[in-house]
C-alpha cells in the first residue's frame, strides 16, 4: 500500500485591513467618545450648572409653570426662591441632568468597546444596535433640556452624524469581505 505524500498546508496570509474599517472605527469611536465627554462635563458642572441652566432657560424648561404664574422669567425665578421651592427645583433638575449624563456615559462606553472589536461580525451587529439606541437617547436627552450647557448639547448633536456614519460604514462590502477573509485565515 502506498500513501500520498503529506505536505504542510499552504500558509494563509492575514488579510490587509481596509481603509473603510479604519474610517468606521473613527466614526464609531467619536460616537462613543462625544457622549462620554458630554456626560462628564455635565456631571462636573453639578449644582451650579443646574442652577445656571434653570435661570437661563426657565421658560423652555418649565413653560407651564411660567404661564400659570403669569410672570416674567426673572420674576418667576425670584418668586420660586422666595417661597423656598427653588432648592427642590434645582435639586430635581440636577438629578435629571445626572441621570441623563450617566445614560450617555454608559452608551458611550459600550460603543467604544464594540468599536475596538469592529472587525468582527458580532461586534458590528452590536455596534449597529447600540448606534441606533444611542441616536435615540441623544435625541431624548437634548429634547428634555436636561443635558446642561450648550457645549454638552452640541457634543450630542455632533454625535448624531457620527452614529449615522457608523451605521453606514458597518455594512459596506469591503468590511464584510475583510471579516470573511479574517475568519478563513484563523
Terminal C-alpha separation, the chain: 35
How confident is the model at residue 167, as a pLDDT? Answer: 93
> What is the model's pTM?
0.81
How confident is the model at residue 168, as a pLDDT? Answer: 94
- Contact between 100 and 146 under an 8 Å Cβ cutoff? The reply is yes
Spatial separation of the C-alpha atoms in residues 112 and 136, rounded to whole Å: 17
How confident is the model at residue 146, as a pLDDT? Answer: 61
Place of cell 407651564: 64
- Contact between 160 and 138 under an 8 Å Cβ cutoff? The reply is yes
How confident is the model at residue 21, as a pLDDT? Answer: 93
The answer to whether residue 1 scores a pLDDT higher than 70 is no
Give the lowest-confidence range in 14-23, 29-38, 127-136, 149-158.
149-158
Of 11, 59, 27, nearest to 134 by C-alpha is 27
Spatial separation of the C-alpha atoms in residues 19 and 98, rounded to whole Å: 38
Amino acid at each position: 500500500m502506498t500513501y500520498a505524500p503529506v505536505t504542510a498546508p499552504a500558509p494563509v496570509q492575514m488579510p490587509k485591513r481596509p481603509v473603510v474599517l479604519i474610517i468606521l472605527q473613527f466614526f464609531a469611536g467619536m460616537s462613543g467618545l462625544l457622549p462620554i465627554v458630554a456626560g462628564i462635563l455635565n456631571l462636573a458642572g453639578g449644582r451650579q450648572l443646574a442652577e445656571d441652566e434653570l435661570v437661563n432657560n426657565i421658560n423652555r424648561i418649565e413653560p407651564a409653570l411660567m404661564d400659570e404664574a403669569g410672570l416674567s422669567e426673572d420674576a418667576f425665578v425670584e418668586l420660586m426662591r422666595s417661597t423656598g421651592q427653588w432648592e427642590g427645583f434645582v435639586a430635581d433638575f440636577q438629578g435629571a441632568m445626572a441621570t441623563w449624563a450617566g445614560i450617555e456615559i454608559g452608551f458611550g462606553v459600550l460603543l467604544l468597546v464594540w468599536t475596538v472589536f469592529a472587525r468582527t461580525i458580532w461586534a458590528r451587529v452590536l455596534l449597529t444596535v447600540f448606534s441606533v439606541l444611542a441616536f435615540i437617547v441623544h435625541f431624548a436627552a437634548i429634547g428634555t433640556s436636561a443635558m446642561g450647557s450648550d457645549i454638552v448639547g452640541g457634543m450630542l448633536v455632533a454625535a448624531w452624524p457620527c452614529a449615522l456614519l457608523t451605521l453606514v460604514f458597518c455594512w459596506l462590502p469591503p468590511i464584510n469581505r475583510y471579516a470573511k477573509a479574517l475568519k478563513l485565515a484563523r
